[in-house]
Chain A
Amino acid sequence: MKSRGTMLPDDPLEALMTGYQQGDGARTRALIERLSPPLYRFFLAQVRSRRHADDLLQETWLRIHQARHTYRPGQPLLPWVYAIARHIRIDHYRRSLRSEAREVQVETLPEPPASGRPAPGPDVAAILGGLPESQREVLVMLKVSGMTLEEVARATSSSVGSVKQKAHRAYMKLRGVLKGDGA
């Protein structure tokens, strides 16, 4: 395990990822610490369960570790990471649909929203809950993860125009919902 240089927390994500590819333990750790919170929020905004978000985050890092050689140095990192993350979430969603279809629901136990640490502000998942899956995903990437339109387009294998359209439709729908709530 090697470590080069200092100021790891300030290094660009791409430099940390290159360090990860080179087997640099300190940069790998810094990358995990930098990327995990936004990835976690990305999942939490969509699955609304801390337990599932925990599982998805761990699964994403396992995949990132397996796929780390497929990151091309010099390319933006976030689309690469979020492309993996969104497929993990889609697979999780499909698996849960399949298991729901097989299982007989006897009782539905609501998941505690945030065990021990209640969210102080408005809940993203609740705000975006009424949106279709694809629009919610785009809005979470743009507004929660802070990605650019181009980065979201690459992460979702679509065009910038399509991302803009989905975001616009999501805004329109949210406006209607919030008006209905008296916002």
Chain B
Amino acid sequence: MNPSEFDRLLREAAESQPGPDPSLIGKIAGEIVPGVKPVRPIVSSWQLSAALVPGSVALALLASMLVGQPGLGLLTAFQSTLIFSELAVLLWLASRALFAEMVPASPRLTSPARLATWAALALMAVFLQVFPDRSATDFVHRGLACLTLGSIVAVPGGLLAALWLRRGMVLNPTAAGAAAGLMGALVGIVTLEIHCPYLQAPHLIWHVLVIAVAVTAGAAIGRIRRRA
């Protein structure tokens, strides 16, 4: 049997399938049509990014003003340009991933979990490139402090993204939670890059670890909501 014969068989089978009971269609229409009201279509992905990315940056700036900005003064122009440009691009990509999770069937570049992995690798690559110091003074103690701060700041960042998610229709809460977690994590990392005075490459692993913490937490919250 060749593919066109398969097609014909399936088409015939599909056509012979019983349709829904007309009374069921009438019932559905009777429930929906009388109360149907105009709604405004959701914003485009560009509009979402245009609102969410500056909002996230503002949140990170506010957080850094609260905890101090010693790190910013220690960065060279080259370092700060490269790091903050990369973070801006990642925030934009994360906002696109968030949009894909709130609008059914919208085109997606990749899954939020995969994007988070690529974001972590890209950040680590840039950190290794721009920070030549490979020493690791007080590695765990300093690292845990940064991981904690980044994760705390990720919470409002993730909540801001979650507020946007509520405006759409989330079909996969786990992936949507991961996307919101990634947005939050990037807000946390922007804050850390402004705040953290330790410019040793090994220490910056802890900054990148914020992504793992926030994305895992976001996905777990989404999973719990799905099961609820």
Which A residues form the contact surface with B (CB < 8 A)? 1, 20-25, 28-29, 32-33, 36-37, 40-41, 44-45, 50, 53-54, 57-58, 61, 63, 65-73, 75, 79-80, 82-84, 87, 114, 117, 119-124, 127, 139, 143-144, 154-155, 157, 171, 174-175, 178-179, 183
User: What are some 25 contacts across the A-B interface (CB < 8 A)?
Assistant: A1-B34, A20-B36, A21-B38, A23-B36, A25-B34, A32-B33, A36-B20, A36-B25, A41-B19, A45-B14, A57-B24, A58-B27, A67-B104, A67-B168, A69-B40, A84-B104, A119-B17, A121-B13, A123-B13, A124-B17, A127-B10, A144-B13, A154-B105, A157-B108, A178-B1
Q: Is the CB of A37 within 8 A of B36?
A: no
Least distance between B91 CB and chain A CB atoms (Å): 22
Contact with A along B1-27 (1 / 0, CB 8 A): 101001101111111111111001101
B32 within 8 A of partner (CB): yes
Known A-B contacts A80-B104, A127-B9, A143-B11; the reply to A119 vs B168 at CB < 8 A is: no
Least distance between B27 CB and chain A CB atoms (Å): 8
B132 within 8 A of partner (CB): no
Least distance between A16 CB and chain B CB atoms (Å): 12
- Return chain A residues, CB-CB under 8 Å to B13: 121-124, 127, 144
- Return chain A residues, CB-CB under 8 Å to B27: 58
Least distance between A2 CB and chain B CB atoms (Å): 9
- Return chain A residues, CB-CB under 8 Å to B108: 157
- Return chain A residues, CB-CB under 8 Å to B14: 41, 45, 124, 143-144
Cα–Cα, bound, A120→B13 (Å) = 9
- Report which of B28, B37, B168 forms a contact with A23, defined as CB distance below 8 A: B37
Nearest chain B residue, comparing its CB with the CB of A179: B1
- Return chain A residues, CB-CB under 8 Å to B6: 171, 174-175
Q: Is the CB of B28 within 8 A of A61?
A: yes
Least distance between B164 CB and chain A CB atoms (Å): 12
The interface residues of chain A, by DSSP majority, are classed as: helix
4 closest Cβ contacts across the A-B interface?
Answer: A121-B16, A67-B169, A23-B38, A79-B105
Cα–Cα, bound, A66→B100 (Å) = 17
- Interface residues on chain B, size class: 35 or more
Cα–Cα, bound, A119→B6 (Å) = 19
Tell me which of B7, B32, B104 has the highest count of chain A C-beta atoms within 10 A of its own C-beta: B104
Q: Is the CB of B34 within 8 A of A21?
A: no
Least distance between A9 CB and chain B CB atoms (Å): 14
Known A-B contacts A122-B12, A154-B105; the reply to A32 vs B28 at CB < 8 A is: yes
- Return chain A residues, CB-CB under 8 Å to B1: 175, 178-179, 183
Cα–Cα, bound, A63→B107 (Å) = 20
Cα–Cα, bound, A142→B115 (Å) = 29
Q: Is the CB of A21 within 8 A of B39?
A: yes
Give 14 A-B pairs besides A32-B29, A58-B27 with Cβ atoms closer than 8 angstroms: A21-B38, A23-B37, A28-B33, A68-B39, A69-B40, A72-B44, A119-B18, A122-B12, A123-B17, A143-B7, A154-B107, A157-B100, A157-B105, A174-B6
Contact with A along B25-54 (1 / 0, CB 8 A): 101110111101111111010000000000
Known A-B contacts A37-B20, A119-B16; the reply to A1 vs B10 at CB < 8 A is: no
Least distance between A78 CB and chain B CB atoms (Å): 9
B103 within 8 A of partner (CB): yes
- Return chain B residues, CB-CB under 8 Å to A157: 100, 105, 108
B102 within 8 A of partner (CB): yes
